[in-house]
Amino acid sequence: MIKRLYILVFFAAWFVCAHAETIVLRTGARVKGTILFQNEEVLVVRDEYGSRFQYPRSDVQEIIEDKSVIAEKPKTEEKAEQEEIQTVKKVSALLEIGGGASVLPNEAAGGAVNVDLLVGTHHIGARHLFIGGGLGYHGLFLGGTSYNFLPVQVALRMPFTEQKHAPVFGAALGYGIALSKNYLGGIYAGLDFGYRCRLNPKTAVSLVAFVQFQQAKVQAVETIEGVEFAHRIGRNFVTPGIKLALYF
């Protein structure tokens, strides 16, 4: 009997002492619940229905303490949740699909198609800054001839502000591996500038204008005094265009 009374008193004190907070987001939305974990980068809240949400601290405008009573998990379970949050790796993937023109300066022009898949981190410190690397496919089509490359690259995507809507700058550097024995690949570089919309702490989309540079060596045939000589000559492909990117 005494043991049961002790348990009832313990749970009564647990519920009565539990405090709730109202988290006011910069969007104007309000979330009522218990803060499970917070630091300079992130805030984790369990609402009054038991669902857990995570918000970047940059999205939180104000935290208002409330005297209303809500259910709270035992401290041991809450501590385990906090440790789990702290050990989560902030890994993100970036898928980019684009197209545009392909130009050999002073020689020819055509079309281009680009697809890139990058893996890295999109949250460094308090910034949504993507740094990663990966592979892609770039197809350049000029004068009835196609040049296909597999770019192995490292990339940076940096929003200028931490607001939901922000301009974004990007850069990439790597090597474009030729996908044909008729030509050789070379250094690959790219620059991006556009607009990004963050959908939630883990997902964002962006629409950007880009310009890319790809070196290559292609086979050329020259005829000297009736004799054909085959050799490779350097080519610098320039590709301006537009692409859609998804961070997830």
- The rounded distance, in Å, linking the Cα atoms of 236 and 147 is 12
Q: What is the mean pLDDT of residues 11-36?
A: 69
* C-alpha 165, offset from chain centre: 15
Please determine, for residue 8, whether its predicted confidence score (pLDDT) is greater than 60: no
Q: Please, which pLDDT band fits residue 223 given cuts at 50, 70 and 90?
A: low
Percent of the chain exceeding pLDDT 90 equals 41
Please determine, for residue 230, whether its predicted confidence score (pLDDT) is greater than 70: no
Q: Which of 79-88, 182-191, 195-204 has the lowest mean pLDDT?
A: 79-88
Please determine, for residue 231, whether its predicted confidence score (pLDDT) is greater than 80: no
Task: For residue range 147-198, list pLDDT tens digits in order.
Answer: 999 999 999 999 998 888 999 999 999 999 999 888 899 999 999 999 999 8
Question: Which long-range contacts (C-beta less than 8 Å, at least 24 apart) are formed by 31-34?
Answer: 31/55, 32/66, 32/68, 33/70, 34/70, 34/72
User: Structurally, what CATH architecture does the domain formed by 92-247 represent?
Assistant: Beta Barrel (2.40)
Task: For residue range 56-78, list pLDDT tens digits in order.
Answer: 888 888 888 765 444 444 445 44
Q: What is the pLDDT of residue 229?
A: 62
- The rounded distance, in Å, linking the Cα atoms of 183 and 6 is 81
**Do strands 165-178 and 186-200 pair parallel, antiparallel, or not at all (unpaired)?**
antiparallel
* C-alpha 201, offset from chain centre: 11
Q: What is the pLDDT of residue 212?
A: 96
CATH of domain 2-86: 2.30.30.100
Q: What is the pLDDT of residue 224?
A: 66
- The rounded distance, in Å, linking the Cα atoms of 89 and 123 is 10
Please determine, for residue 208, whether its predicted confidence score (pLDDT) is greater than 60: yes
Residue extents of the structural domains in the chain: 2-86, 92-247
Cite the DSSP H helix spans in the chain: 2-17, 75-87
Kindly report the average pLDDT of the chain as a whole number. Answer: 80
